[in-house]
Chain A
Amino acid sequence: MKTYLLKRLLQIIPTLLGITFITFVIIQLAPGNPAMLKIQMGKGGAELGEKTASEAIINQTKQLYGLDKPLPVQYFLWLKRIFTLNFGFSYKDHRNVWDKISERLPITIQLNLISIFLVYLIALPFGVYSSTHPGTLPDKILTVGFFFLYSLPSFWVAMLLIMLFGGGDFWDIFPVFGISSIGSESMGPMAWLLDRSWHLVLPVVCLTYGGLAYLSRLTRASMLEVIREDYVRTARAKGLSERVVIFKHAFRNALLPLVTLFAFLLPSMFGGSVIIESIFSVPGMGQLGFEAVLSRDYPVIMAITAISALLTLAGLLISDILYAALDPRIKLE
């Protein structure tokens, strides 16, 4: 276990360098360097007579972002900034990137925690039920239903929900814009909570159904595999009740493959969903990323990409270690 841990930790170094290198290359390849872009955005179209003034601004900006240094130096500066989480200032409003992120992060975490909780709460019972009743009509309905649910594009579901419940030709039940009503600051805590929950219903539905369908199918497949195992037969032969066999002997082992899913929990909580957050105007990380892309705000884009990648890497590492710790059968190379 110790050698495995050490080896796994060592493997992280090249991956880490690779991630930082790729993000660095992308920012370099992006056409229209930040200094030029700033001129364009600031002045609309600079007149020829203002050329010297523009050059001064370009040089100033280049210095500010370290663009006047040779590429290898820039790369090491970028490395340093990643590991100190100092991503500099947004090109758009000159605010500290980390401040912008920490403003948006809570709402995305809030949304995703609710959705992940619901995914597990609903998917596991359905998956277990399907696997213990294979071939029956409810199992068939669930399997096919989850299959279609899994293939539904989330932006279409979002649009359908807005169309049906958002106050058009049909019903006007749920708000479809933002996460609070105007004046929610002056509400009492209960009223505020109700207002917030009301706003989150549709986005949470859109964020939940896909993962729910996926997890349920995964649970079913994993359970079906485990139920065929000898130790489950042994448990039954011992005369244990079906309940104990399924939940104590089968289900616990069926959960093992699900550990891999943990790897992607962290980054999804950080990055949020670009599409869903922009459809419902949720001021979270997904929307921040989308706005950054639209305004070519490289520091924000790079910060989001790099942090997401690092969190995924951490998640992969954690799930690998968990897997090895939980399943002694796994031979560690």
Chain B
Amino acid sequence: MEGEVPNTYWRMVSHHFKKKKLAVLGLWITALLIFAAIFADLLANDKPIVFLSQGKIYFPVFSGAEKVGPFVWKDLRKSAPIIFQHVAGKQNATAIWPLVKYSPTEYNLLEYLSPPDGKHWFGTDDSGRDVLSRMIYGARVSLSVGFIAVGIAMIIGVLLGALAGYFGGWSDIVISRAIEIMLTIPTFFLIIAIIAFLPPSIYNIMVVIGLTGWTGFARFVRAEFLKLKQLDFITALRALGASDRRIIFLHMLPNAMAPVLVSAVFGIAGAILTESSLSFLGFGVPPPTPSWGDILSQSRDYIEFAWWLTIFPGFAIFISITAYNLVGEGLRDAMDPKLFR
């Protein structure tokens, strides 16, 4: 392995990234969280994933349950961790259940605030909703806010940074002042204030976090462009008559992507933290959509005994922020040309 010399930039980066055990662990955790967010319906649901009856396959059951039979799935559900279940009273009928047999919004007032047990692995909240199921769906909120907010911030920041760095002059002066203005305004307070004024919606949260988070991208891209502009290949491109747009997007931007990627990964961690803070303060996604910060905020009323409402969602926030930070740091170190020997 040591004798191998990676020959392209990205292979070199991946080679150096893989040497960092914690960064690789972080990457696995982010993959796991993304998996949970995408396949939340298959991981936690109050209806089976697949139902086999008389040679017919119903898949996925949770999207069209009424057609299958005259029974209510919730009554058939066994609390034991059974995935394959023979449905009584039906010949050759088998249901394949998800790991968590509760939907995130299914409340049961008889089982409110019950501590973790074989039935509800992470306990229930004050409406008797399954905490684990809510957390699996909460990953959706966190990750989608993280990715989309950072996407918005990245587009704004890269464009402005490229304009400032490439053209210089007035565009640079104006954009640099705009960056300084954004830097001075107390961002989190501004986000709370704006979110409180707007109608509650997950899209508003994404947009506001995105609109306030672009300065880092703009600064990095501007700095990279200032350096790249001096290089011979850009002069050569100009001499060949390439348009500004062509030079910026086809030749300079790909060369400035390394710091953009790193700050995007750190940005996702930051956006997840901001979203969960907003939810914790009660400005998050509107109910009944589950989010980690929201479960944690519920725990404030039952802090004396309901430890499961504090520990689990908080740990989910912590572990996802840590995972993205680990990946970001690993990437930054792996991309640092000074470390390539």
Query: Contacting chain A: which of B44-52, B133-141, B177-185?
Result: B177-185
Q: Is the interface of A mostly helix, strand, loop or mixed?
A: helix
Contact of A151 with B193 at beta-carbon distance under 8 Å, contacts A15-B180, A159-B296, A305-B185 already known: no
Please report the C-alpha to C-alpha distance between residue A308 and residue B315 in the assembled complex, in whole angstroms: 32
CB-CB under 8 A from B194, the residues of chain A are 26
Is A101 an interface residue when CB atoms closer than 8 A count as contact? no
CB B309 to nearest CB in A, in angstroms, measures: 9
Is B114 an interface residue when CB atoms closer than 8 A count as contact? no
Is A301 an interface residue when CB atoms closer than 8 A count as contact? yes
The residue in chain B whose Cβ has the minimal distance to the Cβ of A152 is B318
Please report the C-alpha to C-alpha distance between residue A11 and residue B179 in the assembled complex, in whole angstroms: 12
Is B314 an interface residue when CB atoms closer than 8 A count as contact? yes
Contact of A153 with B183 at beta-carbon distance under 8 Å, contacts A15-B177, A296-B197 already known: no
Contact of A316 with B184 at beta-carbon distance under 8 Å, contacts A14-B177, A156-B317, A169-B305 already known: yes
- Contact indicator A22/B310 (Cβ below 8 Å): no
- Contact indicator B269/A151 (Cβ below 8 Å): yes
Please report the C-alpha to C-alpha distance between residue A278 and residue B188 in the assembled complex, in whole angstroms: 14
- Contact indicator B277/A275 (Cβ below 8 Å): yes
Is B242 an interface residue when CB atoms closer than 8 A count as contact? no
Identify which of A30, A153, A279, A308 contacts B314 (C-beta below 8 A): A153
Is A160 an interface residue when CB atoms closer than 8 A count as contact? yes
CB-CB under 8 A from A294, the residues of chain B are 196
Residues facing A in B197-220 (CB within 8 A) are: 197-198
* Further pairs besides A153-B314, A278-B281, A290-B281: 8, Cβ < 8 Å: A18-B180, A26-B190, A159-B300, A159-B314, A160-B311, A275-B280, A305-B186, A312-B184
Q: List 22 A-B contacts (CB under 8 A).
A: A15-B180, A15-B181, A18-B177, A19-B185, A147-B326, A148-B322, A151-B269, A153-B273, A153-B314, A156-B310, A156-B314, A156-B317, A159-B314, A160-B311, A162-B303, A169-B307, A275-B280, A293-B192, A296-B197, A308-B184, A308-B185, A313-B180
Residues of B participating in the A interface, judged by any CB pair closer than 8 Å: 22, 177-178, 180-181, 183-186, 188-190, 192-194, 196-198, 269, 273, 276-277, 280-281, 293, 296, 299-300, 303-305, 307, 310-311, 314-315, 317-318, 321-322, 325-326, 329
Residues of A participating in the B interface, judged by any CB pair closer than 8 Å: 11, 14-15, 18-19, 22-23, 26, 29-32, 144, 147-148, 150-153, 155-156, 159-160, 162-163, 166-169, 267, 271, 274-275, 278-279, 289-290, 293-294, 296, 301, 304-305, 308-310, 312-313, 316
